[in-house]
Amino acid sequence: MADEDGIFWSATEEPHPARDLSRASMRAVARGDKQAWVALFAEDGFVADPVGPSMFDPEGHGHHGRTAIAAFWDTAIAQAERIEFHIADSFAAGDESANVGLIRTFLGDGSCMDAEGVFVYRSAGGGLLHSMRAFWEVDRAMATLRQAD
């Protein structure tokens, strides 16, 4: 069942700083709150979504610093009409949490797409994220493109 913010969480509820930050990140994205999402990252934080070269990051170096993270939002996240998170499991160790599941993106043309993967969040301490790295395959996600129900 989804919470009020479009997060379908079937994983452990055990508190952990990185897991808690991952959920805060997902809530901000699902609400469309760019300012809250960018503010979760440390000044030197970074996003790699997906990890490696992609249409959002041709060089595959990630988006480093809050200005680049905000630009990533404008290029990738803002294009969605709605985003849901379906998290089946979560593994926390050290200062990181790896969430397993899928991100369902609804587009303005009535279509949707699922990106299955592993989404790794690393805490920088002080309630901030050092990084968010999303391991998913663009071709696999594109193969799920369909009209939304």
pTM greater than 0.85: yes
Amino acid at 135: F
Measured between alpha carbons, how far is 141 from 87 in angstroms, rounded to an integer? 16
In the DSSP assignment, the letter for residue 50 is S
Nearest alpha-carbon partner for 89 in 10, 3, 1, 16: 10
Angle at 49 between CA 124 and CA 137, to 5 degrees: 135
Q: Does domain 7-147 have CATH number 3.90.1300.10?
A: no
pLDDT in tens, 88-112: 999 999 999 999 999 999 999 999 9
Going from N- to C-terminal start, the domains of the chain cover 7-147
- The set of residues, in sequence order, having a beta carbon less than 8 Å from that of 43 and lying 6+ positions away, is 65, 66
